[in-house]
Amino acid sequence: ATGTGDDPREVATHCPYCALQCGMTLRAEAGRVTVAARQFPTNRGGLCQKGWTAAELLDHPERLTTPLLRDRPGGELRPASWAEALDRVVTGIRAVQTGHGRDAVAVFGGGGLTNEKAYALGRFARVALRTRHIDYNGRFCMSSAAAAGMRAFGVDRGLPFPLSDLGRADTLLLVGANPAETMPPLVRWLTEQRERGGNLIVVDPRVTATARHADLHLQPLPGTDLAVANALLHVALTEGWVDREYVAGRTTGFDAVRRGVAGWWPARAEALSGVPVADIEATARALGTAERAIILTARGAEQHAKGVDTVTGFVNLALALGLPGRPGSGYGCLTGQGNGQGGREHGQKADQLPGYRRIDDPVAREHVAGVWGVPAEELPGPGVPAYQLLDSLGTAGGPKALLVFGSNPVVSAPRAARVEGRLRDLDLLVVADFLLSETAALADVVLPTAQWAEEDGTMTNLEGRVLRRRALREPPPGVRTDLAVLADLTHQLQGGAPSYRLVHRKGPLLTPKQEHGATPEHGAGAVDAADPRVVFAELRRASAGGVADYAGVSWERIDENDGVFWPCPDTDGPDTPRLFADRFGTPDGRARFHAVEHRPAAEEVCAAYPLHFTTGRVLAQYQSGTQTRRVAALRRVAPEAFVELHPDLAGRLGVAEGEPVRVVSRRGDMVAPARLSPGIRPDTVFAPFHWGGAARANSVTNDAVDPVSGMPEFKICAVRVEKVTEP
Ligand code: SF4
């Protein structure tokens, strides 16, 4: 069903939140939308509490249904018409670009945008604005694993195998991953794996809900995962568990890695990380002697200034053991955001064109420019990664205007108070969102956009499986889709009249020629550039021949097959659930080892800041909390932020459970109630990052970034904790 028929209506779609993209059925009846879990290969009928309550936001009283404008700096936002709001955006963009050049306007996207939106946003930046400045919040999420995957395998797909492989692994090593809280239905696969007699080993500085399930929990000091990885490979080498035939036949560069890990005796890793030698040896044995083994990393390993090298350490281990490409074995990254995978493939990254192509590759530029109907030499070059972009806003030589789609950097960026100041310095801040996020509250123009149940499109989940998001209903009056906003802005910037019209999806919109990827004629009236089918048809053509090749993926094929795994270059050919069976994505088909060395965190503890600070998520909240903090049922479960402390540390500070504490770093502070837990190291404190205001964890975090991926070091900085004594 498309949701455009008579009441009651029902549609099979997917959860709007995380990368598991659980299957759900939405039903509209008597003015109410309800959610039901449905059988889908990733969730097998399960949903977490975020999924069950997702429909609550559709008719939420705080939902934005009219554009908002701020007439002067410091003034209040006031309701406005779409015509006035879009005119203000276009006038502002023109003024900034006339005064400061094309790169003075920047675009910031999100890993929750559909593939169509991510693609359209990249095209909008490069063609309509002709700015090099576009990046997105996925830079804060999985960019280190993406960069490590590209340099090792020549392909970045979170899981290069179906999720069901997790249940088949004899040993499963989770590094910095807490799926029991971040994507609970995935735990079914872990349960299945353990019921088959498999070993689950978790590496995490905290006793998380996932670590409690584990057969073995390694609890390293934050920032020392790479030392553990190198020690594991050291043990595998000395014990003879390295698959020498695989290494010789399918990889390059092992000798340098072998020399590099030679000095990583387990005792040396224990001295740095605190992980006992016996646990390092037991982990290496469990991996090295297993018939099938999988190593997964997530944000705990990745969100460091050495995140790419840390992931590479675990990739090296997986390659040395001969795991990638074998059924039930391999290396993967648990992508976080709903379209964390697709969002990083279609050109909203600073250095990227659609199809996961490099923007500095002349062949890629020719191909994409041809699809877009512009000369390749007119396409801008690479921009800068997200934090660098945000930190340059409003500065001399930096962008003076920013358009934000699907992101809330005031809460989610590192060193957030500084980023907030940069946003305030802009000549023009435009935010498209359906709720007044902390970032939208600072904007000069707020554009109310549709929610997931009101739009068609595609998402690509953590397995590289392209899925269909299906609309249950039209957006409410006064609300437009992001694609409609981009289409209108494009028309107006190019001197045309507003083009927006609501598209009712009752019949095929594409001619056979269009379905095979013809570029729509803007303004010709034949197709609507705001229609996701039209955008997807063009995306397929733009991605053809790239790393993430969608040329053979059609919406109909997705409907028939529970999704389609990329690469899928031919309409009549197979998709690719499992990568690397015969060759990797490098020019010679071999995976690349890279020797990587542990180095200290960008900021080390000292007398003034003696504790390690690390951040993460809780089950009932999602990302910057813009959505989940407004859901009553989730607010009841997780009403406020907290600071997790070991009881010994709390005792030294004279802090009792629930008393407010202040966490102070060199960059700022946060205040939240103390939560005492023996499951955290006494030298480390933890806070979730879902809240803004005084409880904003990212006021504290460090803005040091990984030199390769641009990933900020969210997972470790130096702090002190103070008992809050003033009333
Ligand atoms: Fe939604 Fe993720 Fe929860 Fe599934 S696990 S219901 S996709 S938030």
Q: Predicted ipTM?
A: 0.99
Q: Check residue 7 and give its pLDDT.
A: 58
- CB-count burial class (<10 Å; 0-12, 13-18, 19+) for 36: middle
Q: Relative to the CA of 20, which ligand 1 atom is closest?
A: 7
Q: What is the pLDDT of residues 357-389, one digit of tens each?
A: 999 999 999 999 999 999 999 999 999 999 999
CB count within 10 Å of CB 625 equals 27
Domains of the chain by start residue, with CATH: 9-57 (2.20.25.90), 80-140+339-565 (3.40.50.740), 160-334 (3.40.228.10), 611-723 (2.40.40.20)
Residue ranges lining ligand 1, Cβ < 6 Å: 15, 17-18, 20-22, 43, 47-48, 50-51, 183-185
Q: What is the best residue among 24, 26, 47 to mutate for testing ligand 1's pocket, by most ligand atoms within 8 Å of CB?
A: 47
Which pLDDT band holds residue 503 (cuts at 50, 70, 90)? very low
CA 316–ligand 1 middle distance (angstroms): 31
Location of structure tokens 């997705």:
558
Q: Relative to the CA of 47, which ligand 1 atom is closest?
A: 6
CB count within 10 Å of CB 271 equals 13
Q: What counts of helices (H) and strands (E) characterise the chain?
A: 23, 28
What value, to the nearest 5°, has the Cα angle with vertex 699 and ends 695 and 703? 150
Which residues make Cβ contacts (< 8 Å) with residue 77, sequence separation at least 6?
A: 68, 69, 70, 441, 443, 446
Q: What is the pLDDT of residues 259-292, one digit of tens each?
A: 999 999 999 999 999 999 999 999 999 999 999 9
Residue bearing the CA closest to ligand 1, atom 3: 48
The rounded mean pLDDT for the chain is 93
CB count within 10 Å of CB 554 equals 20
Location of structure tokens 């059988």:
39
Residue bearing the CA closest to ligand 1, atom 5: 183
Location of structure tokens 């000069």:
444
- Per DSSP, what are the bridge partners of residue 445? 69, 430
Residue bearing the CA closest to ligand 1, atom 2: 18
**Contact indicator for 685, 721 with CB cutoff of 8 Å:** yes
CA 669–ligand 1 middle distance (angstroms): 31
Q: What is the pLDDT of residues 581-595, one digit of tens each?
A: 999 999 999 999 999
**Contact indicator for 291, 170 with CB cutoff of 8 Å:** yes
* 3 pLDDT above the threshold of 80: no
CA 9–ligand 1 middle distance (angstroms): 23
CA 159–ligand 1 middle distance (angstroms): 17
Q: Relative to the CA of 182, which ligand 1 atom is closest?
A: 5
Query: Is the CA virtual torsion 279, 284, 289, 293 positive or negative?
Result: positive
Q: What is the pLDDT of residues 564-584, one digit of tens each?
A: 999 999 999 999 999 999 999
Pick the closest to residue 357 from 103, 126, 105, 558 (CA basis): 126
**Contact indicator for 415, 409 with CB cutoff of 8 Å:** no
